[in-house]
Amino acid sequence: MKLIIATIKPFKLDEVRTALTDAGVSGMMVTEIKGFGAQSGHTEIYRGAEYAVNFVPKVKLEIAVPASMADQVVSIISTTARTGKIGDGKIFVLDLEQAMRVRTGETNEDAL
Amino acid sequence: MQFKSLTSTGLAALLVFLPVAALAQEADTTPTNADIGFIFTTFMFLVSGFLVFFMAAGFAMLEAGLVRSKNVTMQLTKNMALFSLASIFYYILGYNLMYPGDGWSVDGILGAFSITSLEPVGLEGAEPDLTYASVGSDFFFQLMFCAATASIVSGALAERIKLWPFLAFVIVLVAVIYPIQASWKWGGGFLDAMGFQDFAGSTVVHSVGGWAALTGAIILGPRLGKYKDGKVNPMPGSNLALATLGTFILWLGWFGFNGGSQLYMDTSGNVADISRIFSNTNTAAAAGAVAALILTQLLYKKPDLTMILNGALAGLVSITAEPLTPSLVSATLIGAVGGVIVVFAVPLLDRLKIDDVVGAIPVHLFAGIWGTLAVCFTNSAASFSVQLTSIVIVGAFVTVSSAVVWLLLKAMFGLRVSEEAEITGLDRSELGMEAYPEFSGS
């Protein structure tokens, strides 16, 4: 099993969700986050004074999938969330040791 | 006679009995010609007065929206308290100090020291000045101007001043400082004799609040972290919807502020003049807002709503010294310059490290000075040198007297809350009560 962590631009969330559920992904966790990467913030002006916005709002997805699906999910996220402009986000893939569905006690791939 | 029965029997009884009473005393109900002017002018003062009263709500909402959420309850408390204190101390001392009639303590300079008293009930045994309005309506109307002056100060000093020293200053401002300088013009004092023109108070009201705010802001110092390492750190306001509502409420109240300052509604000429004033006042506000909208787009690439709100108010302050004589085109230009002044003055004050939370100093002081000078463009009775001299005299008096009071309060009680209290927010540290408790995460 793999855990895929992706940060994307907030306005791409619905599109990514639809594409993933169409491909058979049955669940994901979504968190509103702030952070910086290559985009490294920008400046805004309030009442004539410039100030730095050091952390940019993003959405973080956490998706647990069978190892066989991982590459497909990564490719769907990267194509759907891509605008080609700076700040599109990143995708990380981690090994996942264990999973359990709380209601039934099913484990591992049965629980995904 | 009929007016007396109105007040004592109430509205329900009025609806039932009015037709009967009218039939029974048909000959008596028509007021004399002299009464009609008195009635209309009094009525106009009462309507204008409650419009200006509503500006207290406008200031409260504007300030609540432009301070950070941790200081909102304190800002509302100050607004509530300052209006109430003004209402009490203006009758105890202010009103007769401002309008001494023939009772000057020092002729043309210092008014009368006495408590305000109203006419007897039903004007029983009194001989009112039928060419003007009732004392009660005049007092009510003038009180609202005095309270507006104090409201100007609270916004500039928000988020760091202690409650009680601030309220102590308010008492001195509304009971002594404001009435004395206002008597010089509106009470018939020496500025009036010089020919100074200030229709509804660009100088008498707005710049006075502005000078007191400027003096206070300098003595009090900026909010912690506002100016650090040579940089300005913006502290965005908590609720721009409230700030916008507050601005529109002020805009509404201004129709009473300027319109009522015509002081008479007893002839068709006066009614027409009040209509001119309403139209010019509205136009100047709109021009100030549009000027700030365009200018912030050009300067900063994005329009800044808080500046547009300040721009509208600056337009209103600018037209206040002479809302009657300008044409609509002149009113547009006068208001637009006010909007431009605000957009440049806000960053200028930041460069001087004078922290004015809501922009009260650019709006009320700078635009007030501009409006007072702009009278010369449309009113031939105004002389530039007299306008300028009067601005300087009023400015010097208010700055010096305010500075003395601020410094005394600072020496006796201290003006600022502690560093910890300021960072925690005055709502929790000074009041133990938050405006938005569900959102604070505490």
Which residues in chain B touch residue A49, judged by CB atoms under 8 angstroms apart?
A: 232-234, 347, 350
pLDDT for the residue numbered B30:
78
What does the pLDDT profile of chain A (112 residues) look like in tens digits?
A: 999 999 999 999 999 999 999 999 989 999 999 998 887 778 888 888 888 888 889 999 999 999 999 999 999 999 999 999 988 999 999 999 999 999 999 998 888 8
pLDDT for the residue numbered A44:
84
Q: Is residue B440 predicted with pLDDT exceeding 60?
A: no
The CATH number of residue A33's host domain is: 3.30.70.120
Query: Strand B231-232 relative to strand B227-228: parallel, antiparallel, unpaired?
Result: antiparallel
pLDDT for the residue numbered B34:
78
Rg of the Cα atoms in chain B: 23
Distance from the first to the final alpha carbon of chain B: 62
Burial of B133 (0-12, 13-18, 19+ CB in 10 A): buried
pLDDT for the residue numbered B168:
98
Query: How open is the CA angle B180-B183-B185, to the nearest 5 degrees?
Result: 125
Instruction: Identify each DSSP E strand in chain A by its residue range.
Output: 2-8, 29-35, 42-46, 49-53, 56-65, 89-95
Say whether A49 and B299 touch across the interface (CB within 8 A): no
Token pair in block for residue B396: 């010097």
The answer for B 216-255 residues in CB contact with A (under 8 A) is: 232-234, 236
Show the domain range for A16.
Answer: 2-111
pLDDT for the residue numbered B27:
64
pLDDT for the residue numbered B1:
38
Tell me what percent of the residues of chain B surpass a pLDDT of 90: 87
pLDDT tens track for B170-223: 999 999 999 999 999 999 999 999 999 999 999 999 999 999 999 999 999 999
pLDDT for the residue numbered A112:
86
CA distance B284 to B319: 6
A→B interface, C-beta within 8 Å: 45-51
Give the ipTM of the model, two decimals please: 0.71
Q: Is the pTM of this model over 0.80?
A: yes
CA distance B362 to B213: 11
- Give the chain B residue nearest A45 (alpha carbons): B300
The count of structural domains within chain A is: 1
Nearest by CB to B233, from A45, A48, A51: name it. A51
Q: Which amino acid is at A10?
A: P
What is the average per-residue pLDDT within B243-261? Answer: 98
- Please report which confidence band the pLDDT of residue B23 belongs to, taking 50, 70 and 90 as the band edges: low
Say whether B350 and A49 touch across the interface (CB within 8 A): yes
Say whether B347 and A45 touch across the interface (CB within 8 A): no
Residue ranges of domains in chain B, CATH in brackets: 31-439 (1.10.3430.10)
